[in-house]
Amino acid sequence: MFLRYRIIIIVLITLFAVYNICIYSTKESSTFIKLSSQAVSGQQLWQENNCWSCHQIYGLGGYLGPDLTNVISHPSKGSQYVKAFLNSGIKSMPKFNFSEEEKNAIVSYLKHIDSTGYYPNYNAVFKPTGWVELKYKYNDRNEK
């Protein structure tokens, strides 16, 4: 019995290893773009200042502020709008003291995020199996 359990564990771990390698190395899409160094420093600021504790990206993060996945491409928002918010200290949002360069870095990070997809994914297609087919942004880009 003991031996059988060991075999099951070994099989599972092997599958897990293969699965992980696939996940770590799959290409996200054909038009995939890397985070620029400016966007990476934006990400750094995002983490250092715990923006995630109030804001969400793809619905993951905090609940005190709005989701920011598509704030850049939102018709009535965009880069300038975001910059105006950063040091405003509105409502429960802390009053940050970002320099122009830091603001640009954050915008650059948010821009990158925006380019990766949609959230909320309003045009997703629901299947009778309970499956949801997401609308991907790179498909749009390919079509264009």
Partner 1 sequence: MIEMKNKTPLLFIIAALLALLLGVFFGLFASLQYIIPDFLKEYIPFHKMRPFHVTTVISWIILCVTGSIYFFITHIEKLSLYSKKLSKLHFVVFIITAIGIYVSFLSGKMEGREYLSYTPILTIPILFGWILFGVNYYKTIAKNVKNWSVYYWMWATGIVFMIYHLCEAHFWLIPGFRERFITDMAVQWKSYGSFVGSWNMLVYGTAIYLMSKIKRDSNLAHGKMVFFFYFLGLTNLMFGWAHHTYIIPMQPWIRYVAYGVSMTEWIVLGHIIYSWIKSLSIKDKQEYCMVYRFLKAADFWVFINIILALLFSIPAINFFTHGTHITVAHSMGTTIGINTTILMASVFFIVQKILPSFKTTTLFIKRSYYLFNIMLFLFFCTLLYAGVIKSNWMYFTKDIHFSEMQDSLFTTYIAFFVFGLGLAISITTLSLTLFKALFKVLKSN
Helices (H), 52-119: 79-86, 100-116
Q: Total number of residues binding ligand HEC (CB under 6 A)? A: 22
73 near 118, Cβ under 8 Å?
no
Distance CA 82, CA 91 (A): 15
CB of 136 to ligand HEC, least distance (A): 23
Q: Residue 95 interacts with ligand HEC (CB under 6 A)?
A: no
- Tokens 């970002």, residue located: 98
Closest to ligand HEC by CB, 36 vs 65, is 65
Site for partner 1 in 81-110 (CB under 8 A): 91-92, 94
Interface with ligand HEC, residue 65, by CB under 6 A: yes
Give the closest residue to 16 by CA, choosing from 8, 28, 26: 8
Is 71 a residue that touches ligand HEC (CB under 6 A)? yes
Torsion of CA 24, 26, 27, 29, to 10 degrees: -120
| Contacting range for partner 1; rule: CB under 8 A; set: 79-87, 97-105, 128-136 | 128-136
Left, alpha or beta for 95 (phi > 0: left; psi -120 to 50: alpha)? Answer: beta
Token digits for 86? 């950063």
Interacting residues with ligand HEC (CB under 6 A): 49-51, 53-55, 64-66, 68, 71, 77, 82, 85-86, 90-94, 96, 106
Interacting residues with partner 1 (CB under 8 A): 1-2, 5, 8-9, 12, 15-16, 19, 23-24, 26, 28-29, 32, 34-35, 40, 43-44, 47-54, 56-67, 91-92, 94, 112-113, 116-122, 124, 126-127, 130-134, 136-138
